[in-house]
Structure 1
Amino acid sequence: MSVVNRSKETMKRRIRDPWPGVCRALTRLRVGAGLLLLGTASLPSATAGTIRHDRPDSSYTSLAASYPAVGALTWSNMICSATLIDQDWILTAGHCLDADGFSASDWTFDLTDSGGGVHVGAERFVYSGWTGDLTTGTDIALLRLATSELSVTPATINTNTSEVGQTATHVGYGVTGTGATGITAPAGTKRAGQNVVDVDGSVVGGYSDDILFEDFDSGSAGDNFFGSATQLDLEYLIAGGDSGGAIFMDFGSGDVLAGVHSFIASVDGNTDADYGDLAGSIKVSSYASWITSTISAGNDPVAPELSSWMMWMVLGVGLLMSSRSATRRI
């Protein structure tokens, strides 16, 4: 199994989130010469991403149906999101696949709400540079599936490096609420919404260029941290359970998978994905070569697709009610 091996000392230092798929709050964010201290907040026991308070939830769930390659990734009593990028492979966040004491077959990827199947993992590949430090922009991983997905078309990996300034569509299964309330409802429902990628880590002190940043605009200058304060029609921010989910962008030839959800942060000290909170995602373009080479090296024949309804019955609703986040990592 090609999984990142970390020293015991590194693992001792690492803070583990009790709710998978929930972003770790940034403790410090530097923009230009200004230093902004961000607090951490506990996440209540907890669908995906927080939405505008003046838009119906049905608009977000309907948009999600246009992105069938994104599915729920579950293990133990935990949930993240992931994207099918090959009939036998999914892309997700490193912190969604790095749990100790598990084998690849403990992870399940579900595409039943897209007309696909349920698949267990065969082999996991966490990027070798991932140590648990979200500032490094290395929070990315691949899972080879034990069975092939033949009903859903895989997403196309982005290689365009002009992500900043683009309108991005985010897709995932995380906790939900509105910008006015923050998170209030549990994970497990697929939603999609949009946000503008304002900057990358090149202008954020202490953060890698491989991280894409955006904020949850309300239309008020007081809730705007990057770029314009103007809301998009389906303005959205990722939340717990959206970890590993997808950012799609269209550079003129159709949607491509341009980012992987990694973390959120707050300005007000309450990281609940309300208006004014921030999100960071990993640039897929920075890892396109690694993704391609890993898949090429490990693309062995796999078994036919398993019966999806039977495995889904085993998972149950309980798996969809969790997310990992005391420190706000999604």
Structure 2
Amino acid sequence: MNRHQNQIQTMPTVIKPTRLVELQTRRPGRPLGRACGGLLLVLLLGAEQTANGGTIRHDRSDSSYTSLATSYPAVGALTWSSMICSATLIEEDWILTAGHCLDEVGLSASDWTFDLTDSGGGVHVGAERFVFSGWTGDLQTGTDIALLRLATSETTVTPATINTNTSEVGQTATHVGYGVTGNGATGITAPAGTKRAGQNVVDVDGSAVSGYSDDILFEDFDSGSAGDNVFGTATQQDLEYLIAGGDSGGAVFMDFGSGEVLAGVHSFIASVDGNLDADYGDLAGSIKVSSYASWITSTISGGDPVAPELSSWMMWMVFAVGLWMTSRSKPTVVERKRGQVRMARA
């Protein structure tokens, strides 16, 4: 275990989540969170701008990442007011995104716009939003997920397939989004708005990080140096990548042997050095789609949502006693390692 893992698991730390809400035109994106030592987390919300998304290797060309993004046409930009997130088309009139991208009060679903013009698709406004009921703003719970039904159907772009395989840890994943950009050596240096994709290995889930839900997938931004390695090995992917502000709600794709599926939803980035700029050594957390497959399916089909980890036999029992008893319930975390790392709301 390296020094970063010791720090995460043993330091008495209060983690302060916040949002990237003040990215201005021609200004570098930067987090507004307050570090209290140890691990700092931030929701990945950016301001609507024109630039590239996610931080990349300092020794790779930007065009390699933007080119890879074209292979993922179902991922589009989700905008409202002056804000931007990312989202993925999963049915011709449904998209999947992060809970914190759709939880703003005082707005109607039609205030959100999903744009697939990068992929040759259309621009769609929202019709209904469904933020998972367990989402309270607490990142450690692994409940940062939401659905938006679109007012019009997308008939040009093929929707992504929802993952149900629970073997995500150890997989090489491709991340796609529209977040702020920079590279591992400099961190964030430019604003959000253009689609890019890169790869990273899912090192652990939340069961290996004190106080976090099993429904979170963690990875670190490796430089090849042990000093920047938090989980797993320090070996870089050829297109090593870390999500950043504006990538929230974007896609984590994995291939379990039968083609790529949507396995995660971007939720937050984290830092052990107190400087949350998405440089080498920073981390990212995404929500496991497999944990919410039942909720996604039932919501889209018009049924009452149920807890994502209920087994099929339990679902039938729930139907027998009445769906109202468990509809919109919070997902159950089966096992969690507890320690001294804690999180508080900003």
Same fold (TM over 0.5): yes
What are the Cα deviations for residues 233-272 of structure 1, in whole angstroms up to 9, with x where unaligned?
0000000000000000000000000000000011111000
CA separation of 1:68/1:41 partners in 2, compared to 1, >3 Å: closer, same or farther? closer
**2-side partners of 1:210 and 1:25: how far apart?**
23
Residue in 2 aligned with 1:4?
A: none
**Shift in Å, 1:18:** 2.5
1:37 match = 38
Residue 332 (structure 2) aligns with = none
1:237 corresponds in structure 2 to 242
Partner of 2:21: 18
Which runs of no fewer than 5 residues in structure 2 stay unpaired? 1-15, 24-28, 304-342
Matches within 5 A, 1:230-309: 230-297=235-302
3-state SS of 1:158 partner: coil
Q: State the secondary structure of the residue aligned to 1:131.
A: coil
- In the alignment, the residues of structure 2 paired with residue 23 and residue 297 of structure 1 have an alpha-carbon distance, to the nearest angstrom, of 38
CA distance in 2, matches of 1:175, 1:290: 30
What is the CA–CA distance in structure 1 between the aligned matches of 2:181 and 2:300, rounded to whole Å? 33
Q: What amino acid does structure 2 have at the position aligned with 1:107?
A: W
Post-superposition Cα deviations, 1:200-258, rounded to whole Å, max 9, x if no partner, equal 00111110000000000000000000001000000000000000000000000000000
Note if contact 2:46-2:83 (Cα within 8 Å) is conserved in structure 1. no
CA distance in 1, matches of 2:34, 2:243: 15
Partner Cα separation in structure 2 for residue 17 and residue 58 of structure 1: 26
Q: After superposition, what is the alpha-carbon deviation per residue over 1:66-100, rounded to whole angstroms, capped at 9, x for unaligned?
A: 00000000000000000000000000000000001
| 2: CA distance, partners of 1:114 / 1:44 | 21
1:110 corresponds, among 109, 112, 115, to: 115
Cα 1:241/1:212, change in 2 over 3 Å = same
Q: What letter matches 1:198 in structure 2?
A: D
Match of 2:76 in 1: 71
The more displaced of 43-52 and 147-156 is: 43-52
> What TM-score results when the alignment is normalised by the length of structure 2?
0.76
- Deviating above 3 A after TM superposition, structure 1's stretches of 4 or more consecutive aligned residues are 13-17, 19-28, 39-46
The separation in 2 between residues aligned to 1:197 and 1:106, in whole angstroms, is: 34
Q: Is residue 74–residue 116 contact of structure 2 (8 Å, CA) maintained in 1? A: yes
Distance across 2 between alignment mates of 1:208 and 1:52: 29
* Counterpart selection for 2:201 from 174, 196, 199: 196
Q: Establish whether residue 123 from structure 1 lines up as the match of residue 128 from structure 2.
A: yes
Q: Does residue 66 of structure 2 align to residue 61 of structure 1?
A: yes
Change (3 A) 1:268 1:41: farther
The amino acid across from 2:39 in the alignment is L
Instruction: State the Cα distance separating 1:19 from its structure 2 match.
Output: 4.8
Q: 2:141 & 2:60 partners in 1: Cα distance? A: 35
Q: TM-score, normalised by structure 1?
A: 0.80
Aligned-pair Cα RMSD in Å? 2.7
Partner of 2:335: none
Say yes or no: does 1:96 pair with 2:97.
no
Cα contact 1:170–1:193 (8 A) shared by 2 = yes
Q: Does 1:148 pair with 2:153?
A: yes
Preserved CA contact (<8 Å) 1:25 1:264: no
Residue 226 of structure 1, aligned match among 227, 231, 236: 231
Q: Is the 8 A contact 1:23 1:263 kept in 2?
A: no
Q: Shift in Å at residue 186 of structure 1? A: 1.0
Residues 148-192 of structure 1 show CA distances to partners (whole Å, capped at 9, x for unaligned) of 000000000000000000000000000000000000011011000
Match of 1:3 in 2: none
SS in 2 for 1:205: coil
Q: Which amino acid aligns with 2:285?
A: G
